[in-house]
Structure 1
Amino acid sequence: MKRKREEEKSKANDSNSNGNGNGNGNGNGNGNSSNNMEIVWQTPANPPVKEDYIFRDGRRNVKPYYFEFISHVKNRWAGKTIVDLFAEEFKGRPYDYYVSAVKCGRIQVDEEMVPVSYTVKSSQKISHFLHRHEPPVMAWDVSILQKEPDVLTVCKPPSVPVHPCGQYRKNTVVGILQAEHDLAPLFPVHRLDRLVSGLLILARNASKADLFRQQIEAGKVIKRYIARVNGVFPEGEQVVDVNINYNASAGRSTAESGDSLGDTPLKGKAACTKFTRISTNGTHSIVLCEPITGRTHQIRVHLQYTGYPIANDMLYLCEHVTHREGMSADRAAAYSHHSPPPVSSDKSESSSEDFSIDPMCTNCPNLAPKDTKDMKRACGYIVFDTLDLDGHMNALILIGQHLAYNFLPFF
Structure 2
Amino acid sequence: MSGSGKRKRDDGEEAEMEAIVWQTPANPPEPRDYIFRSGRRYVRPYYFEFISHAKKRWAGKTIVDLFAEEFKGRSYDYYVSAVKCGRIRVDDKMVDTSYVVQSSQKISHFLHRHEPPVLAGDVLVLQNEADILTVYKPASVPVHPCGQYRKNTVVGILQAEHGLAPLYPVHRLDRLVSGLLIFAKSADKADFLRQQVEAGLLQKEYIAKVIGVFPEKEVVIDANICYNAREGRSFVEINDSCIDKAFKGKTACTKFTQINTNGKYSLVLCKPVTGRTHQIRVHLQCAGHPIANDMLYLSEDVPSRSANGVGADRAASRTCKPPMSNSHKDDSFAEDSASEEFSIDPMCTNCPNLPPKGYDEDEEGIWLHCVRYSGPAWSPPCGPPSYEVVHSLFRCLDSLGS
Normalising by the residue count of structure 2, what TM-score does the alignment of the two structures yield? Answer: 0.71
Assess if the C-alpha contact under 8 Å between 1:82 and 1:120 holds in 2. yes
Shift of 1:59: 1.0
Q: 1:152 aligns with which of 127, 133, 151?
A: 133
Inter-CA distance 40–343: structure 2 relative to 1 (3 Å threshold): farther
Shift of 1:316: 2.1
* 2:134 aligned partner, one-letter code: T
Q: Normalized per residue, which structure has more helix?
A: 2
Shift of 1:153: 0.6
- Provide the residue aligned with 1:203 in structure 2: 184
- Provide the residue aligned with 2:302 in structure 1: 328
Inter-CA distance 312–202: structure 2 relative to 1 (3 Å threshold): same
Assess if the C-alpha contact under 8 Å between 2:85 and 2:384 holds in 1. no
Mapped partners of 1:313, 1:92: distance in 2: 23
1:113-152 to 2 correspondences below 5 Å: 113-152=94-133
Mapped partners of 1:115, 1:69: distance in 2: 19
SS at match of 2:277: coil
Mapped partners of 2:207, 2:181: distance in 1: 16
Inter-CA distance 106–7: structure 2 relative to 1 (3 Å threshold): closer
Mapped partners of 1:310, 1:241: distance in 2: 18
SS at match of 2:52: strand
* 1:4 aligned partner, one-letter code: G
Mapped partners of 2:317, 2:265: distance in 1: 27
Mapped partners of 2:270, 2:161: distance in 1: 34
Inter-CA distance 356–273: structure 2 relative to 1 (3 Å threshold): farther
Q: Is it true that 1:222 corresponds to 2:203 in the alignment?
A: yes
- Provide the residue aligned with 2:353 in structure 1: 360
1:156-195 to 2 correspondences below 5 Å: 156-195=137-176
Shift of 1:38: 8.3
- Provide the residue aligned with 1:280 in structure 2: 261
- Provide the residue aligned with 2:395 in structure 1: none
SS at match of 1:301: helix
Between the two proteins, the alignment pairs up a number of residues equal to 322
* 1:61 aligned partner, one-letter code: Y
Assess if the C-alpha contact under 8 Å between 1:3 and 1:49 holds in 2. no
- Provide the residue aligned with 2:4 in structure 1: 5
Q: Which has the higher contact order (CA 8 A, sep 6+)?
A: 1
Inter-CA distance 373–135: structure 2 relative to 1 (3 Å threshold): same
Structure 2: tracts of 5 or more residues without a match: 10-15, 306-312, 319-347, 355-368, 373-377, 386-402
Assess if the C-alpha contact under 8 Å between 1:364 and 1:378 holds in 2. no
Q: Any idea what the Cα deviations from partners look like across 1:46-70, whole Å, max 9, x if unmatched?
A: 1111110111111111001111111
SS at match of 2:196: helix
Mapped partners of 2:317, 2:108: distance in 1: 25
Assess if the C-alpha contact under 8 Å between 1:106 and 1:129 holds in 2. yes
Q: Any idea what the Cα deviations from partners look like across 1:272-297, whole Å, max 9, x if unmatched?
A: 21212232222222222111221221
Q: Normalized per residue, which structure has more strand?
A: 1
Q: 2:315 aligns with which of 342, 347, 358?
A: 342
- Calculate percent identity across the aligned residue pairs: 67
- Provide the residue aligned with 1:89 in structure 2: 70
Inter-CA distance 117–167: structure 2 relative to 1 (3 Å threshold): same
Deviation beyond 6 Å, 4+ runs, structure 1: 35-38, 361-365
- Provide the residue aligned with 2:392 in structure 1: none
- Provide the residue aligned with 2:29 in structure 1: 48
SS at match of 2:179: strand
